[in-house]
Structure 1
Amino acid sequence: MSSFAFSVLFIVFLATSLSVRFWLGSRQIRHVIAHRSAVPAEFVEKIQLSAHQKAADYTVAKTKFSLFTLLVSAVLLICFTLLGGLQWISATVFGWTGSGMLYQMGLVVAFALISGAIDLPIAYYKQFVLEARYGFNKMTHKLFFADLLKSTLLGAAIGLPLIWVILLLMEKSGDIWWFYAWLVWSGFQLLMLILFPTVIAPLFNKFTPLTDDSLRSRIEGLMQRVGFASKGLFVMDGSKRSAHGNAYFSGFGASKRIVFFDTLLARLAPHEIEAVLAHELGHFKLKHIVKRIVVIFAVSLVFLALLGYLKQQLWFFTGLGVIPLLLTDLSNNNAMALILFMLALPIFTFMLSPLSSITSRKHEFEADAFAAKYTNADDLVAALVKLYEDNASTLTPDPLHSAFYDSHPPATVRINRLLATKLEPVTFNG
């Protein structure tokens, strides 16, 4: 393939993804606004019109903001690639370091710092303007920048050694470097599953053991019924950052733990909390987590193999606006290949997004059915209604937008499916 042909292909895919995203976003906005004036019949006795309208306004605002950030990202992508931004960064770093591993690590760091600096005002606006406008932001400016510093230092401490190992494998391991890199990356991901709940997450939030004896007894009874062993029940101080509520299961092997946002415990009754937890345990017992990990590992192997091919192709670099350094030794361009691949891959795989959404929604239905088997389906319905209201989740998303993007089924579909489980036996294939 010629570099010109690849440039044209890149532009076509970028324009197509932008057009589809803006079309879906405009559909979402129009559909939500069109249904803003009335609560859906299924929820008319459960959710007030004011809450429904707040959810509609919040959804529209988030969608407009996402379209704006999408446009900014597209402009930056063009600037980094076809307009020579990465070429300039590469030449500047090369002038400081010369060729070799120091240049490659310097290129990664420079790109990460520039990208982070560009993303900062967008993240700031989202937190302190958009989220605050609808009453969800609880974060102080001090905490925002403390989180930024922690995440930057943590990313450097964890990410830079990993990148160095990957680049070393790319340089020293021959044509099948990508397989060794995949083994390293897979091991790293599994290690993070173990370390995240006990080492990383506590750097950002405070986790305290659940002290409500009545609730603890109810939850332990549920875990015994479903056959789940946990290293603890914890409450996370999510309220210091956001008014949104949630509960989640984290960890792997001996580090498994169940975490409740303090905002969730303050809002839901004990039997509703039990039902929400039963849903989360359903993901574990039905092996959804393992299945997702297997899919991620398989896809990453394919993508690394593809990168193994592309990094040897001159047109891959020049077609994205970069003239490789030292053409006689392409190993000096491994870091650039990683960055270009990371930038270009989402453009070429965007239309595959619904596949992930379809699988995720299927898992949500299965976890709901699992929860209805071990708890009262009405309790989970009641909890979901409260969560939809408290999180200002729209009850009337555009069906096509939802099918393309949403990892969870629309509220009406999900709750109607849940209520139907009370009328029929539930079976699982595991």
Structure 2
Amino acid sequence: MSSLAFSVLFVVFLAISLSVRFWLSSRQIRHVIQHRSAVPAEFAEKILLSAHQKAADYTVAKTKFSLFGLFVNAAVLIGFTLLGGLQWLSAKLFGWAGPGMIYQLSLLLAFVLISGAIDLPIEYYKQFVLEARYGFNKMTRKLFFLDLLKSSAIGAVIGLPLVWVVLTLMDKAGDLWWFYAWLVWSGFQLLMLVLFPTVIAPLFNKFTPLTDDSLRARIEGLMQRVGFASKGLFVMDGSKRSAHGNAYFSGFGASKRIVFFDTLLARLAPHEIEAVLAHELGHFKLKHIVKRIVVIFAVSLVFLAVLGFLKHQIWFFTGLGVNPLLLTDLSNNNAMALILFMLVLPIFTFLLSPLSSITSRKHEFEADAFAAKYTNADDLVAALVKLYEDNASTLTPDPLHSAFYDSHPPAAVRIKRLMETKLIAAHG
């Protein structure tokens, strides 16, 4: 392939991605606004009109803001590639560091810092303007920047050694470097499943054992019924950052733990909390987590194999605005290959994203059915209604937008399926 042909292909896929995203977002905005004036009939006795309208306004505001972020990211992408941003940056750093690992690591670090600096105002506005406008932001500016510093430090401590290993394999391990890199990456991901809940997450939030004895007894009874073993039940101080509520379990093997946001415990009744947890446990017992990990590992192997091919293709670099011949040793292009691949991969795979959404929604239905088997389906419905209301999740998303993006089924569809499951169980 010629560099010109790849440039044209890149621009075409970028244009398709932007057009589809803009079209879907426009549909979402119009659909939500059209249904803003009335609560859907099935929720009329459960959701106030004011809450429904707040959810509609919040959804529209988030969607419009995402469009702004979409075009900013597209401009940054073009600036880095076709307009020569990465070419300029690599030339400057290569002139300073010369060939070798220092140049490659500095290029990656500079790219991450520049990208982070561009994203920072967007994240700041989202947190302190958009989220605050609808009453969800509970984070102070001090905590916002403290989180930024912590995550940056953790990223450097964990990321730089990992990148160094990958770059070394790209340089020294021959044509099958991508397979060895995949083994390293997969091992790293499994290690993070163990370390995140016990080492990393506590650096950002406070986790305290659940002290409500009656709720603990209820939850332990549920875990015994479904056959789930956990290292503990914890409450996370999510309210210091956001008013959104959630529950999840994390960890792997002996490090599994169940975590409740304090905002969730404050809002739901004990039987509703049990139903929500039963749904989360359903993901584990039905092996959804393992299936997702297997898919991620398989897809990452394919992508690394593609990168193994692309890093030897001059047109891959020149077609994206980078001249690798500026470098005396082509092995010094490895960091640039990683950056370019990370930049363009989302563009070329965007149209495949509904496949992930379809699988995720299927898993949600299955977890709901699991919860209905071990708890009262009405309790899960009541909990879901409260969560949709508290999180200002729209009850009337555009069907096509939802099918393309959403990892969870729309509220009406999800609750209807739950009620059907209840009826089947009652007559079964």
Is the pair's TM-score, using the shorter chain for normalization, greater than 0.5?
yes
What is residue 55 of structure 2 aligned with on the other side?
A: 55
Give the whole-Å Cα distance in 2 for the aligned partners of 1:96 and 1:145.
31
CA distance in 2, matches of 1:256, 1:63: 35
Distance of 1:392 and 1:39 partners within structure 2: 13
Deviation at 1:163?
A: 0.3
Counterpart residue number, 1:300:
300
The amino acid that maps onto 2:398 is D
Which residue pairs with 2:105 in the alignment?
105
The match for 1:8 is 8
TM-score by length of 2: 0.99
Aligned AA (1:324) = P
1:12-411 maps to which residues of 2 (within 5 A)?
12-325=12-325, 329-411=329-411
How many Å apart are 1:271 and its aligned residue? 0.1
What per-residue deviation string (whole Å, max 9, x for no partner) do you get for residues 154-204 of structure 1? 000000000000000000000000000000000000000000000000000
In the TM superposition, residue 67 of structure 1 has moved relative to its aligned partner by 0.5
- C-alpha deviation, 1:96, in angstroms: 1.2
Moved more, 417-426 or 254-263: 417-426
Go from structure 1 to structure 2 and tell me whether the alpha carbon gap of 1:112 and 1:325 turns closer, same or farther (over 3 Å shift): farther
Aligned residues: 426
> For 1:278 and 1:241, how far apart are their aligned partners in 2?
26
- Give, as a single letter, the amino acid of the residue that structure 2 aligns with 1:419: M
Q: How many Å apart are 1:92 and its aligned residue?
A: 1.1
Q: Provide the secondary structure at the position in 2 that maps to 1:322.
A: coil
Residue 424 of structure 1 and its aligned partner are, at CA, apart by 1.0
Contact 1:354–1:405 under 8 Å retained in 2: yes
Q: Any idea what SS the aligned residue of 2:324 has?
A: coil
SS in 1 for 2:413: helix
Please give the secondary structure, in 2, of the residue aligned with 1:248. Answer: strand
Match of 2:132, SS state, is helix
Give the secondary-structure state (helix, strand or coil) at the position aligned to 1:409.
coil
Query: What are the Cα deviations for residues 302-358 of structure 1, in whole angstroms up to 9, with x where unaligned?
Result: 000000000000000000000115566321100000000000000000000000000
Does residue 413 of structure 1 match 2:409?
Answer: no
Q: Which amino acid aligns with 2:43?
A: F
Instruction: Indicate if the aligned counterparts of 1:137 and 1:243 stay in contact, CA closer than 8 A.
Output: yes
Tell me, yes or no, if the aligned pair for 2:170 and 2:177 is still in contact at 8 Å.
yes
Paired amino acid for 1:308: G
* SS state at 2:234 partner: strand
Structure-1 separation of matches of 2:68 and 2:201 = 31
Secondary structure in 2 aligned to 1:16? helix
Specify every segment of 5 or more residues in structure 1 that has no aligned partner in the other structure, as ranges: none
Paired letter, 1:209: P
Distance 1:153 1:362 in 2: 37
Deviations 1:271-295 (A, max 9, x none): 0000000000000000000000000
Q: Deviation at 1:128?
A: 0.1
Q: Over residues 15-67 of structure 1, what are the superposed CA-to-partner deviations in whole Å (9 max), with x where a residue is unaligned?
A: 00000000000000000000000000000000000000000000000000000
Tell me the CA shift for residue 91 of structure 1: 0.8
- Letter aligned with residue 286 of structure 2: L
CA distance in 1, matches of 2:135, 2:407: 24
Cα distance in 2 between the residues matched to 1:40 and 1:62: 21
Q: Which amino acid aligns with 1:65?
A: F
The answer to whether the 8 Å contact 2:99/2:329 transfers is no
SS of match in other structure, 1:218: helix
Q: Which amino acid aligns with 1:350?
A: F
Letter in 2 for 1:298: A
Contact 2:99 2:327 in 1 (8 A): no
Structure 2 Cα separation of the partners of residues 108 and 67 of structure 1: 27
Shift of 1:126: 0.2
Please give the alpha-carbon distance, in whole angstroms, between the structure 2 residues aligned to 1:356 and 1:59.
22
Return the alpha-carbon distance in structure 1 between the equivalents of residues 327 and 102 of structure 2. 18
Contact 1:247 1:264 in 2 (8 A): yes
Q: Report the CA distance between 1:425 and its aligned residue.
A: 3.5
How far apart, CA to CA, are the structure 1 residues paired with 2:17 and 2:387? 32
- Which whole-Å CA distance do the structure 1 matches of 2:326 and 2:357 have between them? 43
Percent identity between the aligned chains?
Answer: 88
- Supply the distance in 2 between the matched residues of 1:42 and 1:158 (Cα, whole angstroms): 48
When normalised by structure 1's length, the TM-score is 0.98
Letter in 2 for 1:261: F
How many Å separate the matches in 1 of 2:165 and 2:326? Answer: 22
Q: Distance in 1 between matches of 2:354 and 2:308?
A: 27
SS of residue matched to 2:138? coil
Q: Deviations over 1:199-246 (max 9, x none)?
A: 000000000000000000000000000000000000000000000000
The one-letter code of the counterpart of 1:184 is V
The alpha-carbon deviation at position 412 of structure 1 amounts to: 0.1
Q: Distance in 2 between matches of 1:246 and 1:266?
A: 11
Assess if the C-alpha contact under 8 Å between 1:325 and 1:333 holds in 2: no
Aligned Cα RMSD in Å? Answer: 0.8
Structure 2, gaps ≥5 residues long: none
Alpha-carbon distance change, 363 to 239 in structure 1, aligned in 2, over 3 angstroms: same
Secondary structure of the residue aligned to 1:424 is helix
Contact 1:326 1:332 in 2 (8 A): no
